[in-house]
Structure 1
C-alpha cells in the first residue's frame, strides 16, 4: 500500500492551515483571558499567561503580542479558569504532555477543556493543532523505521482526537478539518491493516486481527483491500453475518476497484452456496 506516502503533502498543507489559525489568534485575540493588574496604576491588561518563572511571566496580550513582565511590577494576576484550571496552566499541561510524547493526555486535556468551556476553544486551538502535527509526524517516523505497532498506537490517538466533536471548535475551517480527517483516516487505516496482517503472521491472534481490520475499514471506507480481508477473516471465524455485510458493502461502494468488487461478489456467492449445502 502506498497510502502513507500521500498525507505528507497534506501535513504540509495542514501546517499552512495552522499558521493561518495562528494569525487569526493574533488578530482576534483569545476569547477567554487572564488579567494582569499593574502596581501603582491599577492598569489592567487582558491576555494569556503563557509561561511563568519565580521572577517573570511570559504574557500574550489580546493582539497576540508576547512580552516578558517582571513580577515586581504586577499587583495581581486574575486568572481565567477552565474546569477549575487556569488556561495558562492548561496550555502548560498540553505542552508538557506533547513534549513527553504523551499525546493521549495532551489531546484529552484540550478536548475536555473545550467540552467544559467552549469559549476557550480559540485559545486552545493553537496548542491542539501543534499537538496534532507533532503526533502525526511522530507516527510517520515510527512507520518509516518499521515500527508498525508504534505507528498504529500514535495514529489511533490522532484519529480519535481529530474525529472528536470538540475538534470542530478547535479547528475553525470546516474544509481543513474534513481534509485533515481524511488524511489521518487513510494513514490510520493503512497501519491498522498492515498490523492486522502482521498479527496473523506472527501470532495467529485472529481476535486482535479482526479488531484491527474493523478499525482499518472504519477509518477509511475506501480501503476495499482491508474490507475484503475483514470479510474473509470473519467468514473463517464463522461470523457469516459480518462477512456478508462486509462483502455487500464492498460490492455497493467499491467504485473503481472493479477487480475487488468482482472478487467480493464471487466470494459472497460461494459463501451463500456453502451455507445452503
Structure 2
C-alpha cells in the first residue's frame, strides 16, 4: 500500500497545488466572481450539470463526433502512410502536398469548412478526420521508411507473398511508432473538436462553454475547461495502457 501511494503521490502534487492556489486567489477577494469563480462554485455547477443530464448530453455529442472522425482518420492515415512509404511513385506525387497540408493548422480551416459544409455534423467530423489522418499518416510513413531495406531484400529472395510481408514484417515493425502517433492524434483531435464546437455547434462540450460565456456563467465555462482537461488526460493514459498491453515487447526492450 505504501509503495502504491509513493507511485501515485507525484501525479497528485501538481494538481493539488494548482487547486490550492486557485482556491486561495479566488477567495482572497481581489477578483470579482464574474472574473474568477471559486473551485467550490465550479464543483457545485459540475454536480448540477451532471444531475440534470446536460453534461452527459454534451459529452455524448462530442464523443460521437470524436470516435467517428478519429476512426476514419486513423484507418485512412495508416493505409496512406504505408502506401506512400513503399511506393516511390505515390511518394513523389503525394508527399509535397501532404507536407504542405500538414503545416496548415486545422483550426485555420474551420471558416472555410463552415462555408463549404455548413455547421452540421459532417463539419465537425471532417475537422477531426483531418487532425487525425495527417498525424497518423506521418507516423505510419516515417515508421515504414525506418524499416531496414535488408528485410525487404530477404523477403524478395524468398518470394514472400505481399500479405505475409505486411503481416509478418511491416505491421510488427511499425506498430510501436504508429501507436504513439495514434495517441498524439487522438489527443489533438479532441482539442480541435472542442475548438470547433466553440465556434459552430448546437451541442458538445465546446458549445456548453460557449453558452456559458454568452450567459456570463464563468462557472459553466470552467466546468468545460476542467472536463476538457480530464478527458484529454484520460485519453492519453488509456492509450499508454493499451500500448503496454498490446506491445509488451517494446517495454521489455526499453527495460
TM-score, scaled to structure 1: 0.26
| Higher-strand-fraction structure | 1
Please identify the structure whose Cα radius of gyration is greater.
Answer: 1
TM-score, scaled to structure 2: 0.28
Higher relative contact order (CA 8 A, sep 6+): 2
| Higher-helix-fraction structure | 2
